[in-house]
Amino acid sequence: MSELRRDPITGRWIIVYLDKVLQPSDFKPEPHIKNKDNCSFCSGNEGLTPPEIIAHRSYGAPNTPNWTVRVVPNKFPALRIEGELNREGIGVFDMMNGVGAHEVIIDTPDHFRDMGDLTCAETEEVVWAYLARSIDLRRDNRFKYILIFKNYGKSAGASLEHPHSQLIALPIVPKRVYEEIDGAAKYYEYKERCVFCDIIRGEQEEKSRIIYDGKYFLAFCPYVSRFAYEVWILPKKHQSDFTSLERDRVPDFACALRNSLAKIKGLLKDPSYNFIIHTSPINGHEREDYHWHVEIMPKLSKVAGFEWGSGFYINPVPPDIAAQNLLSVKTEEK
């Protein structure tokens, strides 16, 4: 038997298999063949990237080794920071110039250590880079949304093997973001409560889907998981904007992120994945009834015709079982 479950934020329905539940060993992740020859993100090859925007290093000049995290412009950006938007209509279509920012956060100088292999302190440095670049770019009034994401593995869209994240500042608010914002706003209007805060309370009462319960952050496999072993990370305190994250709470967020990824990697034998930081829009589009969070989506199965045609997702692993399996993985720092 399967169940249909409705997402209270977007109204999206998903199908969860309850009878034939796939085991972790049933998933066959793609192999990650890592070759660091001529890798432009490795320490010592700083000249192969555009000049850095910021870097964390103990000593040395810009664009030299001895860094721990480095941020550079994307060499082949989806959007460029120069120019004006120049919005116009072309018949029934709308068009504007491809203005924005596209940056790469190089998580570590080590070619072979993904974020799940880092320590919490090393992951914290990456988070500080996310915050620094988000705070800086939001000063540009042309930008309405800042998207931070990570693609790990070819099936997740990664074109380079070296561990890295990306940031894109957009001149518009993406449609998928509006779907979440509108859903959260309708829930708040009806119940006078944040839907994400209610989800947190429900998970804390249920307890069966939580994989990390820190002082300030909660990580869990959501009841309406679209994908097997999907994990969400939310601040326990209501907060709409990622850049509002208090300094003393950054270490707990870094541990929640690192430990979640380490558990996924350990249980599922290093699968490809995406993670995305969902945050409020900026520069006149802020929404206090929203709640920023991270969504981690392992790439364990294909999205096919049924999903594209219906908007439904099929999850072969109930989230409570996924959480139990993830909890069995020890994530002590090495």
Domains along the chain with CATH numbers: 2-327 (3.30.428.10)
Q: Which residues does residue 72 pair with via DSSP β-bridges, in sequence order?
A: 104
Q: How confident is the model at residue 143 (pLDDT cuts 50, 70, 90)?
A: very high
- Residues annotated as catalytic are 164
- The region that residue 9 occupies, defined by phi over 0 for left and psi between -120 and 50 for alpha, beta otherwise, is alpha
Across 109-130, average pLDDT: 96
Three-state DSSP at 236 gives coil
pLDDT for 223: 96
Q: Mean per-residue pLDDT for 101-124? A: 96
For the cut 80, the answer to whether the pLDDT of residue 332 exceeds it is no
Q: Count CB atoms within 10 A of the CB of residue 324.
A: 14
* pTM of the full structure: 0.94
Instruction: Report the distance separating Cα 302 and Cα 85, nearest Å.
Output: 36
Residue 265's pLDDT is what?
A: 96
Helix (H, G, I), strand (E, B) or coil at 61: coil
- Give the alpha-carbon dihedral of 192, 198, 201, 203, to 10 degrees: 170
Segment 174-180 shows an average pLDDT of 92
Residue 85 pLDDT level (bands cut at 50, 70, 90): confident
Q: 333 pLDDT band (50/70/90 cuts)? A: low
Query: For 224-236, how does the pLDDT look when each residue is reduced to its tens digit (9 = 90+)?
Result: 999 999 999 999 9
Which residues sit opposite 220 in a β-bridge? Answer: 210, 232
